[in-house]
Amino acid sequence: MKLISFLNKKKEEHAGILLEYHVLDLQMTMNEFLRGGLKAKSKKSLSLKEISLLAPVPHPPSCRDAYAFRQHVEAARRNRGMEMIPQFDQYPIFYFTNHTAIVGEGKVIVEKDHLEKLDFELEVACVIGKKGKNIESKNADAYIAGFTIMNDFSARQLQMEEMLLSLGPAKGKDFATALGPWLITPDELEPYKIKTSFGNKYDLSMKAIHNGKQVSQGNMKDMNWTFMKDMNWTFAEIIERCSYGVELQPGDVIGSGTVGTGCYMELNGTWALKAKEKGEAFTPTWLKAGDTLELEVTELGKLKNTIVKTPKDYSILAKKKIV
């Protein structure tokens, strides 16, 4: 199934099953639907013109984001003159982002300081479908209700300033995380599934398009597990880590982390090194107000957002006052 969340004509938030030309209204929210074990009591057919699409899980109980693609981590560190960190191979790491700042397709409202090196991150997220604690990776895929595209918008200037204090990203990350356009259940991805000893991976093409120009290309299957230097992490292993000593809840969102080439932080560094080798000048690329960003993943659809700057400037609130 392709599951969506939407507003009907009465501005009521419902979950639904997306079909080719219409939607089956499940007449409950996505959180209610997931807590009910993917079972709906009633259905009502609506035309696509009668709804306004939201993020498939507009109000997740939590939102974690992992760091599963070695290519991205390795390239980002190399571009900053750093060796690959060996701890990457020990366990899948993640951070909590703001689960109340989830957006779907459409406008993404940002402040002035967010536009200082505003970046996208091309990711896939899984959504948990049932409660579980201390879940072993061999059983973890059964806890996934579905997958969706995730764009972890990042204000890199704020992020770099904050992380000098070694406490992780906060204001550089917590203003917007886009999910959508739908949540696709794992059975729909059977033709793309590749089984491993550490959970399933999927052969799904991933790409990002900025103002009509493709800037990124990757594949979800690179979330695999092989030996030593090529090790990445599967969603099953990430779920195992996330659930250690903690009960995961239906509706929890867990991002994969950025696919290789999947953000400007990585791309700008790579492009800058190539320009330096050629003796050429280089100007980094970032998202600007008015830009459109489309993330596209096989079977998961296309998530399109437009960057909009708030009319009033509150940037003084993001700066330390020195007296």
Quote the CA–CA distance of 80 and 129 in Å, as a whole number. Answer: 39
User: Has residue 225 got a pLDDT over 80?
Assistant: no
pTM of the model: 0.93
User: Has residue 230 got a pLDDT over 70?
Assistant: no
Domain ranges (residues) in the chain: 2-53, 63-318
CA 134 to chain centre: 24
Higher pLDDT, 81 or 154: 154
Percent of the chain predicted with pLDDT > 70: 93
Report the mean per-residue pLDDT for the chain.
91
What does each C-alpha distance from 182 to 6, 135, 150, 258 come to in angstroms? 10, 26, 11, 19
Q: What are phi and psi of 11, to 5 degrees?
A: 65, 30
The fold adopted by the segment(s) 63-318 is Fumarylacetoacetate hydrolase; domain 2 (3.90.850)
User: Has residue 81 got a pLDDT over 90?
Assistant: no
Structure-token pair, residue 279: 């003796």
pLDDT of residue 250: 97
Determine which of 91-105, 164-178, 202-216 has the lowest per-residue pLDDT on average. 164-178
